[in-house]
Structure 1
Amino acid sequence: MIDYSASFSIGDQLNVGSKGDSKLGYIFSLSYKTDYKYYDDVAYGSYQKYEDADVYEMRYATVQNGQMGEQNVLIGLLGGLAYKNNYNKVRMTVMRLQNGESRAAQFNIKNDGAAVGQSGYIAQSDNLEYNQRSLTNLLINGKHTLQDSGWEIDWRISPTYSTSDDPDLRKTAFTEQPGGRQLFSAGAGGNPSRIWRELTEINATARLDISKDYQFNDQKAQIKFGTSHTYKMRDYEILFFDIQFANTQSWPDADISKVLDPSNLYPNRPNGIYYQSGNPNPNPNEYSSNVNSSAFYVSNELYPFARLKTILGLRAENFVQRHTGRDQAFARGSSDGNNLDNSEVLNSLDLFPTANLIFEMTDNQNLRAAFARTIARPSFKELSYAQILDPISNIIFNGGLYPYLPDWDGQLTETYINNYDLRWELFMEQGQNVSASVFYKQFNDPIEIVRIPQALTSTEIQPRNVGDAQLYGLEFEFNQNLKMLSPLLQNLNLNGNITLVKSEVEMTETEFNSRKNQERTGENIQNTRAMAGQSPYVINGGLVYGDPETGLDAGLFYNVKGPTLLIVGTGILPDVYQAPLHSLNLSINKKFGEEKRTSVDFKVSNILGQEELSYFESYKAANQTEERRSPGRSFSIGLSHKF
């Protein structure tokens, strides 16, 4: 069906108080949006290298081809109040977002029994999914100026409650038998399955910032310091059930809508269907995690010399993450299993310095140098034992706590990053600017998604710390009005930025040896590779027209990212890359009336009709599809009016 959306918002500011010098403001908005997507050619694949080093091409383990349809509905509600006078401002906002997504898919599945770990079969799969998510946020914020002292206090308290539920994900796959007969086979297409997933999370943050303006060397300076505390808590559970058969199967027409007809249920014959739980007690796919993070910072902004602006800062942070959960072995009763009961999985006290030097070469020209130490921590899902199945692609995500010896000890930890930047920038009239940058980053224990080499009968991935990494690059950015070419082009602006990056990860000994053992003839594998998730180049461009007199605004925008490593391959399992997507979009807005209160929007997305593609890559082999879908082109028109 056609996509559609509607929104309404209202707000105002009222004079209050005996002198009328205080103001009370309010805002309220309501929005609704629904969109449909249909993909008539969706493909998923899993490929392997041949054991023979002289064979370059890859062979498939499993390929899926089919169609998929989605409906997505989003409702948003926002309300807020604010009070302010000459020295104080207090505001409160409440936001609620509710989202529901329905998805149905049909696939033809082909599995190669000659591939390592595969049984060989052909199946037809039907999938039904529904996901419901919600987010509720409250923000209470105050800003206070202590009259003529120069001190300003900013405080905020913001709790958030969010949920994500997958009630009854259903997958039904008939496996073809010799002679054209169809039935359910646990070792092939699988028995019909049903999955329930439930996630709830609380995120509460309190923060206090204090600043003061002062004079240093007869120029404006500012000192800031503050403290914050964040508490996060997540509960997550997966319940899995599949159908078993007490009697011989018989499906004359292989109609999935008739699988659970009463005539097929136990104790009736044939089939004799009954449900079987796939949830051991305790459940390894159930966990509870929490984080307490306390921080304090101080920074100072001043001019030690006439044209040198300096911003120095230091942040101290104490981070403690605890986890309750267990692995599959413990759930099965093994003494070698792992079980955590509100146990610390991360505990660190860190200092994060930052320094920015801005040399004002001229009144409109700066040279900036910056250093910052930052951190990237694993998420709740990554720092768990949970196994999470994507029922469409059949990819299984394994939490990083789960050990796969000798490759991985289950000790997932944070990534420390040192960032260095040097930037030249030139500012011109009407918002025009030009800048050029060089940057360098060092990564200690970066986290990447790795294909699990021990899992050959299924497609399983896991977040792991890999070898230390570094990247360096160049960036050029500009925003230029085209009236320099002709006065007729005074309302036309060209803007864009280009980023070139070279990234390098030093492989662990395990990864290097795994790759060397599967080296192709003529291939010379080194002990470094590109970082996962890091594109070698990014290009953004825009041609924008704006005429306030006629109320016409239009823009043509382009974006592309270079091929990016998504999943790190090991052994016979090749690397997975994200292919470049050349995104070209058009937006036109026209305002009408004397006061320009009515406007019409027209948009076209993905003008080039590009498909979303990720692929397997191996030395001298043709790339093979890991996932492919074509979103097509979308056209939209909108009408708005301001009263």
Structure 2
Amino acid sequence: MPPRRLTRRSATSSFLPSLNATYNFNDRSLLRLAASQTVNRPEFREIANYSYYDFTNNANIKGNNKLRTAKIYNADLRYEFYPSKSELLSVGVFYKHFTGAIEQVTNSTNGSTLDLGFLNAASAYDVGVEVEARKGLVELTENPFLQHISFVLNASFIKSRVSLASGDDTSVDNNRPLQGQSPYVVNTGIFYQDDDRRWQVSAQYNVIGPRILFASSNKQNFSLFELPRHVIDLAVTKGFGPHLDVRVGIQDLLNQYTRQYYDSDRSGGISSADRGAFGRFRRGQYSTAGLTYKF
């Protein structure tokens, strides 16, 4: 069998302007404005015109040598307030417009196999709000233990929509979110740090909203959603003497199920009417223990 000939892609140049401006109201608060144009170029596996098997999802994946570079127009407005050197309260709004957004899609036309590929959407957008906060208790209490505790929060709430080309066979799913984009992301944590006694303890929590794992590419298949799962990570570090640190940790303490469902009613989300389960499995906990010796 003769070797497969790869299609040579012509070189492209991109103009990527950006603007960053800051206005300081005083020493503790400021306003940031940012605007930029960026690109998302296809990866080799996305444009390579051959099939390979994905053992994680039990799927056949084939690249698309007609993929175009996606253009992204970004705008961000953010207010930041610093009550102290170690504390922060930030609220921002952002908008992203995609031209030719690259999405991973399912090309399957029957239930026996899962065939995946890549396509350019005509356009898409993200619009959302982001809140970030860091707060310590040192100024709120005289208790020596509580003074070493601090909290961190980062949360984003996003709305995204995709517009497909007028000639696409996917018009039935033309009012869905962008593939891979969650409507919300929440990260929070509580931290205890005592430098004198060399204790560091942390508990962190993460959850992301339901997102499209693979988007529908024709009227014979459905978009595949991944549902939220709650993740908690714990870590403890204790120092002994001037050189030795002992650290133990547990990642994904809850070990909840990863749940994947087909959007069988094409509603742009998963409801009680969607009964087409694709996958349900646990990723497993990950525990670590280690010693660090500093010379």
8 Å CA contact 2:229, 2:258 repeated in 1? yes
C-alpha displacement at 1:452, in angstroms?
1.4
Q: 1:431 aligns with which of 67, 86, 97?
A: 86
* SS of 1:490 mapped into structure 2: helix
For residues 376 and 504 of structure 1, what CA distance do their matches in structure 2 show?
18
Q: Residue in 2 aligned with 1:559?
A: 206
Q: Residue in 1 aligned with 2:2?
A: 282
- Summarize deviations over 1:361-408 as a string: whole Å, max 9, x none: 10121100010100000011111211111256431111112xxxxxxx
* SS of 1:533 mapped into structure 2: coil
* SS of 1:550 mapped into structure 2: coil
Q: Check 1:393–1:434 CA distance in 2 against 1; reply closer, same or farther (3 A cut).
A: closer
- Summarize deviations over 1:152-190 as a string: whole Å, max 9, x none: xxxxxxxxxxxxxxxxxxxxxxxxxxxxxxxxxxxxxxx
Q: 1:571 aligns with which of 216, 219, 226?
A: 219
User: Structure 1 residue 638 and structure 2 residue 284: aligned?
Assistant: no
Q: Check 1:588–1:420 CA distance in 2 against 1; reply closer, same or farther (3 A cut).
A: same
User: Structure 1 residue 385 and structure 2 residue 37: aligned?
Assistant: no
8 Å CA contact 2:75, 2:96 repeated in 1? yes
Q: Residue in 1 aligned with 2:148?
A: 491
Q: Residue in 1 aligned with 2:256?
A: 610
- Summarize deviations over 1:10-37 as a string: whole Å, max 9, x none: xxxxxxxxxxxxxxxxxxxxxxxxxxxx
User: Structure 1 residue 580 and structure 2 residue 228: aligned?
Assistant: yes
Q: Residue in 1 aligned with 2:128?
A: 473
For residues 220 and 22 of structure 2, what CA distance do their matches in structure 1 show?
51
8 Å CA contact 1:448, 1:568 repeated in 2? yes
Query: RCO (CA 8 Å, sep 6+): is it higher in 1 or 2?
Result: 2
Q: Check 1:453–1:641 CA distance in 2 against 1; reply closer, same or farther (3 A cut).
A: closer
Q: Check 1:471–1:354 CA distance in 2 against 1; reply closer, same or farther (3 A cut).
A: same
* SS of 1:529 mapped into structure 2: coil
C-alpha displacement at 1:616, in angstroms?
1.5
For residues 375 and 551 of structure 1, what CA distance do their matches in structure 2 show?
45
8 Å CA contact 2:108, 2:116 repeated in 1? no
8 Å CA contact 1:346, 1:413 repeated in 2? no
* SS of 1:474 mapped into structure 2: strand
Q: Output the TM-score relative to the length of structure 1.
A: 0.43
8 Å CA contact 1:611, 1:632 repeated in 2? no
C-alpha displacement at 1:608, in angstroms?
1.5
8 Å CA contact 1:419, 1:439 repeated in 2? yes
Q: Residue in 2 aligned with 1:506?
A: 163
Q: Check 1:416–1:629 CA distance in 2 against 1; reply closer, same or farther (3 A cut).
A: same
Q: Check 1:454–1:435 CA distance in 2 against 1; reply closer, same or farther (3 A cut).
A: same
C-alpha displacement at 1:528, in angstroms?
2.3
Q: Residue in 2 aligned with 1:361?
A: 25
Q: 1:395 aligns with which of 59, 66, 87?
A: 59
* SS of 2:138 mapped into structure 1: helix
Q: Check 1:392–1:450 CA distance in 2 against 1; reply closer, same or farther (3 A cut).
A: closer
Structure that is richer in strand per residue: 1
For residues 392 and 497 of structure 1, what CA distance do their matches in structure 2 show?
30
Q: Residue in 2 aligned with 1:535?
A: 182
Counterparts of residues 53-202 of structure 1 (less than 5 Å): none
Letter in 2 for 1:469: A
For residues 283 and 105 of structure 2, what CA distance do their matches in structure 1 show?
27
For residues 448 and 640 of structure 1, what CA distance do their matches in structure 2 show?
43
8 Å CA contact 2:222, 2:264 repeated in 1? yes
Q: Check 1:624–1:496 CA distance in 2 against 1; reply closer, same or farther (3 A cut).
A: same
For residues 481 and 533 of structure 1, what CA distance do their matches in structure 2 show?
34
8 Å CA contact 1:453, 1:571 repeated in 2? no
Identity of aligned residues (%): 28
- Summarize deviations over 1:424-480 as a string: whole Å, max 9, x none: 001232411111100001100000011115677632111110120111000000100
User: Structure 1 residue 600 and structure 2 residue 246: aligned?
Assistant: yes
Q: 1:589 aligns with which of 218, 237, 250?
A: 237
The higher radius of gyration belongs to 1
Runs of 4 or more consecutive aligned structure 1 residues displaced over 6 Å after TM superposition:
none
For residues 412 and 455 of structure 1, what CA distance do their matches in structure 2 show?
25
8 Å CA contact 1:415, 1:447 repeated in 2? yes
Q: Check 1:425–1:392 CA distance in 2 against 1; reply closer, same or farther (3 A cut).
A: closer
For residues 498 and 346 of structure 1, what CA distance do their matches in structure 2 show?
41
Q: Check 1:481–1:623 CA distance in 2 against 1; reply closer, same or farther (3 A cut).
A: farther
Q: Output the TM-score relative to the length of structure 2.
A: 0.90
8 Å CA contact 1:388, 1:397 repeated in 2? yes
For residues 476 and 442 of structure 1, what CA distance do their matches in structure 2 show?
21
For residues 585 and 625 of structure 1, what CA distance do their matches in structure 2 show?
28
For residues 495 and 390 of structure 1, what CA distance do their matches in structure 2 show?
37
Q: Residue in 1 aligned with 2:74?
A: 419
Q: Check 1:466–1:577 CA distance in 2 against 1; reply closer, same or farther (3 A cut).
A: same
* SS of 1:362 mapped into structure 2: coil
C-alpha displacement at 1:583, in angstroms?
0.7
For residues 509 and 349 of structure 1, what CA distance do their matches in structure 2 show?
28
Q: Check 1:559–1:393 CA distance in 2 against 1; reply closer, same or farther (3 A cut).
A: closer
Q: Residue in 2 aligned with 1:78?
A: none
C-alpha displacement at 1:626, in angstroms?
2.2
Q: 2:13 aligns with which of 333, 349, 371?
A: 349
Aligned-pair RMSD on alpha carbons?
2.0
For residues 166 and 152 of structure 2, what CA distance do their matches in structure 1 show?
45
* SS of 1:372 mapped into structure 2: strand
For residues 542 and 371 of structure 1, what CA distance do their matches in structure 2 show?
30
8 Å CA contact 2:158, 2:182 repeated in 1? yes
- Summarize deviations over 1:300-327 as a string: whole Å, max 9, x none: xxxxxxxxxxxxxxxxxxxxxxxx42xx
Q: 2:277 aligns with which of 625, 632, 637?
A: 625
Letter in 1 for 2:149: L
8 Å CA contact 2:186, 2:206 repeated in 1? yes
8 Å CA contact 2:264, 2:276 repeated in 1? no
For residues 203 and 229 of structure 2, what CA distance do their matches in structure 1 show?
16
